Amino acid sequence: GNSVTQMEGPVTLSEEAFLTINCTYTATGYPSLFWYVQYPGEGLQLLLKATKADDKGSNKGFEATYRKETTSFHLEKGSVQVSDSAVYFCALSDRGQGAQKLVFGQGTRLTINP
C-alpha cells in the first residue's frame, strides 16, 4: 500500500539556520503531496501542497518540490525562527474507494533555539 517515510526527529536548530526535513513516499499512481504543521496542543494546519510532478509548493518561507524520479517531497526553509518550532508531517492523498484519505508520515519534531 501507499506509505510515507520521514526523517526521524527530533531536530534542533539555532535561529536563522537552514532547515531540511526529508520525506519520501511509495505510491501507485500520482498522488498529491502535502506538508502539515502541528503546534503544541493544536490540530494540523496545511502548510503547503503539490499536486503533480515538478510542482513546488511554498508558504511562509517554506517550500517543497514534488520529485517523481526520487519519490521525494523534502521540506526546506532558508532561515528558521523560534516560532517555527512544531511537529511537521508529510502526507500523500490516497484516493481509495473514492475517498481522499491522507496517508501520513510519523512526524518530525522541530525545535528552534534563540
By CB under 8 A, name the binding residues for another protein: 4, 32, 36, 41-46, 49, 51, 89, 93-94, 96-107
If you ran DSSP here, which 8-state letter would residue 83 be given? G
Smallest separation, CB 15 to another protein (Å): 26
For residue 96, list its beta bridge partners.
Answer: 99
Smallest separation, CB 17 to another protein (Å): 24
Distance CA 19, CA 11 (A): 9
Of 76, 78, 60, the closest CA to residue 108 belongs to: 76
**With respect to another protein, which residue has the nearer C-beta, 11 or 104?**
104
Smallest separation, CB 43 to another protein (Å): 4
